[in-house]
Structure 1
Amino acid sequence: MVPSNIIPELNQGNQKALRTIYKLYGRQLLFLANQLIKNKQASEEIVNDVYLKVWDLRDKFETTNKLKAFLYIATKNSCYNFIKKANNKVSFEDVEDQFNLICKDHGVLEKIIRAELFGRILEEVAKLPEKQKEVFCLTYLEENSVEEICHKLGINANSVYVIKSRALSSLRKALKMYDSDYIFPTIITIQYFLNSLNK
Structure 2
Amino acid sequence: MPMKIDSSIISHLQQQILLGNTKAFEDLYRLFFARLFNFAMLYVHKKEIAEEIVNDIMVKIWNKREELNRIQNLETYLFVAIRNHCLNHLAQYSNYHVMLEPETSRAEIVNLNNPEREMEWKEIYARLNKAIDELPDQCRTVFKLIKEEGFRYKQVAEILGISPRTVETQLFRAIRKLDRVIEMYVENAQQKRRSGDTLSIIFLLLLPFSI
- Return the structure number with greater relative CO, CA threshold 8 A, min gap 6: 2
Larger Cα-atom Rg: 2
